[in-house]
Amino acid sequence: MTKPQEHENSGIIAGILNQPYLLLILAPLFWGGNLIAAKLVVGEIDPYMLLAARCVLATLVIIPFAWKALQKDWAVVKANWLALMAFGAVGYALFNGLLYIGVQTTSGVNAAIVQASLPMLILACNFIFFRVKARWLQIVGVLLAIFGVLLTATHGDASRILSLDFNLGDLFVILACFAYTGYTLALRFRPKMDLMSFMAVSFSGAAITAVIMLFLFRDAGAEIARLGSAPLSVWLVIAYVAIFPSMFSQVAYARGVELVGANRAAPSHNLIPVFGTLGSVIILGEALQLYHFTAAALIIAGIVLAEWAARRKLAATGA
């Protein structure tokens, strides 16, 4: 690749990394694809093996791209390596690990309902710990988006919520949401360093944690041997979830939070079921129902309302 081409490509990447709306659409887009990818290999790979494989592969992929940045930031990395690894351990590995434990003993509807509360949880914790207030229209927008998620999870029959039984699995899903909330809020404290350096070290922390979880909760030797004889489809899914949901989504989300703050980034999580549904229709051949359109409209309207309220707040304060 010639130097002008390298300069042009770096300029495009830099431009994308300065577009918060685009970043906060790309992150849930790839996360939505994560759900579809998991469905494609149900029964062919253990969830903990998939988590460990995706984290290790994502680390191996990102390190060459981050190498120059790591050399420049090495003093910062050495001074903060434990905290940097904790970002990945909590935000990537622990979040997904707790989620995997939870969904084994709870229903998909329960899990979706609990996860739908994540944006509101981020807003609440941001106020409790940092006194960052949300405008009431932001809260209305988030609630509207949450209702859209609930409509998707209950297949258009919101009354199903009343008949749900909550159990220990739901507690693990709640803990997963708290883990990602903690990660999101902690991003304000990440050391001053190149984003690629931050992601490379945090992914390393995620990989180590995911491998430890594999050994704790599964027969790691048996799962690794099983992976060795897995069909090509499993390896393609591992490659996808490592590069897109693990690497691209996390980079996009971390940069989005950096640009607009946790409160404004939080509602983007509710786009995951929108993209997940769209992908399921296109890739898995699932049928579109009227409630899908209604739910998507509510989610998008809620996110737009929340962002409009946040921008009004910024304009009013002169920020």
Residue 124 has pLDDT above 60, yes or no: yes
**pLDDT value of residue 260:** 93
Residue 7 has pLDDT above 50, yes or no: no
Banded model confidence at residue 57, pLDDT cuts 50, 70, 90? very high
**pLDDT value of residue 219:** 96
**pLDDT value of residue 203:** 97
DSSP 168: H
Whether the CB-CB separation of 86 and 161 falls below 8 Å is answered with: no
Whether the CB-CB separation of 213 and 51 falls below 8 Å is answered with: yes
**pLDDT value of residue 310:** 84
pLDDT 10s digits, 173-224: 889 999 999 999 999 999 999 999 999 999 999 999 999 999 999 999 999 9
Q: How far apart are the C-alpha atoms of 190 and 192, rounded to whole Å?
A: 7
Which percentage of the chain shows pLDDT scores above 90?
Answer: 53
Where are the strands (E) in 192-293, listed by range? Answer: none
**pLDDT value of residue 84:** 97
Whether the CB-CB separation of 149 and 285 falls below 8 Å is answered with: no
- Comparing CA positions, the residue from 201, 241, 187 lying closest to residue 67 is 201
Contacts of residues 125-130 at CB distance under 8 Å and 24 or more positions apart, as own/partner, are: 125/181, 125/182, 125/185, 126/185, 126/262, 126/263, 129/185, 130/185, 130/188
Q: Which residues contact 171 (CB under 8 A, 6 or more apart)?
A: 102
**pLDDT value of residue 214:** 96
The identity of residue 137, as a single letter, is L
pLDDT 10s digits, 11-30: 777 788 899 999 999 999 99
Q: What letters, b where the CB count within 10 A reaches 16 and e where it falls short, cover 56-66?
A: bbbbebbbeeb
Q: How far apart are the C-alpha atoms of 33 and 157, rounded to whole Å?
A: 25
| Whole-number average pLDDT of the chain | 88
**pLDDT value of residue 249:** 94
pLDDT 10s digits, 241-295: 999 999 999 999 999 999 999 999 999 998 988 888 888 888 878 788 888 888 8
pLDDT 10s digits, 88-113: 999 999 998 888 788 777 766 667 77
Tokens of 129: 């710990």
